[in-house]
């Protein structure tokens, strides 16, 4: 059995990544009621305050398999970002995140991804960070694109959502990682079949 992963406080120009607090509860619940959050995550559609409390309580204790940070902007909860360790020798894990709707479109998640990925490579010694998202989740794709993730691959039936298989995007970043986009945003959108 591995030791629990520590949750360090990481700061950038815009965001601070910190352990969750009980005081995040109302904002976590608000986030889980958001239409886009429901569309692109597996949270139950009938989400209750009790579910939010149970979820948050689970994040307050260190885990051997996951680091989960609250994203804070100007003293307010702005989302959650996780690194989930995979049971492989080389050191690898999955990156997941969700932004509170009041903080979208401001570069919050792009900076949070940069801080979390840097910690995965330099702090945890991982060699690989994998990102997956529902196909069509352009906001999620933009945050990893800005941080050097390769062009995602569209995979039919990649994800399970509420008892059904849905198409997803996947991209894997290896250390040492580039610090900026490896293709233009227009190239990425065209490759993933954006009708716009």
Q: What is the pLDDT of residue 39?
A: 85
Q: What is the pLDDT of residue 137?
A: 94
The DSSP code sequence of 117-167 is HHIIIIIS--SEEEEEEETT-HHHHHHHHTTTPPPPEEEEEEEEETTEEEE
Pairing mode of beta strands 76-85, 16-19: unpaired
Q: What is the pLDDT of residue 44?
A: 85
| Average pLDDT, rounded, for the chain | 93
Q: What is the pLDDT of residue 109?
A: 98
Return the minimum-mean-pLDDT range out of 63-67, 71-75, 101-105, 136-140.
63-67
Return the minimum-mean-pLDDT range out of 39-48, 49-58, 72-81, 141-150.
39-48
**Given pLDDT bands bounded at 50, 70 and 90, which one contains residue 63?**
confident
Handedness of CA 71, 175, 188, 184 (dihedral sign): positive
- Helix (H) or strand (E) holding 109, with range, is helix 108-118
**Which domains does the chain possess?**
10-191 (3.40.630.30)
DSSP 24: G
């Amino acid at each position: 059995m591995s030791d629990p992963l520590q949750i360090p406080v990481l700061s950038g120009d815009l965001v601070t990544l910190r352990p969750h607090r009980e005081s995040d509860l109302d904002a976590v619940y608000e986030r889980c009621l958001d239409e886009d959050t429901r569309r692109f995550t597996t949270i139950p559609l009938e989400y209750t305050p009790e579910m939010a409390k149970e979820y948050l309580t689970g994040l307050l204790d260190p885990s051997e398999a996951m680091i989960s940070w609250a994203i804070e902007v100007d003293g307010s909860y702005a989302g959650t970002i996780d690194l989930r360790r995979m049971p492989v020798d080389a050191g690898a894990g999955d990156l997941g995140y969700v932004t509170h709707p009041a903080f979208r479109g401001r570069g919050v998640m792009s900076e949070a991804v940069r801080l979390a990925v840097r910690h995965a490579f330099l702090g945890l010694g991982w060699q690989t960070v994998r990102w997956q998202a529902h196909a069509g989740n352009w906001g999620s794709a933009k945050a990893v694109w800005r941080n050097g993730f390769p062009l995602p691959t569209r995979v039919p039936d990649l994800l399970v959502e509420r008892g059904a298989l849905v198409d997803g995007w996947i991209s894997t970043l290896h250390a040492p990682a580039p610090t900026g986009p490896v293709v233009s945003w227009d190239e990425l959108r065209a490759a993933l079949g954006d009708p716009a």
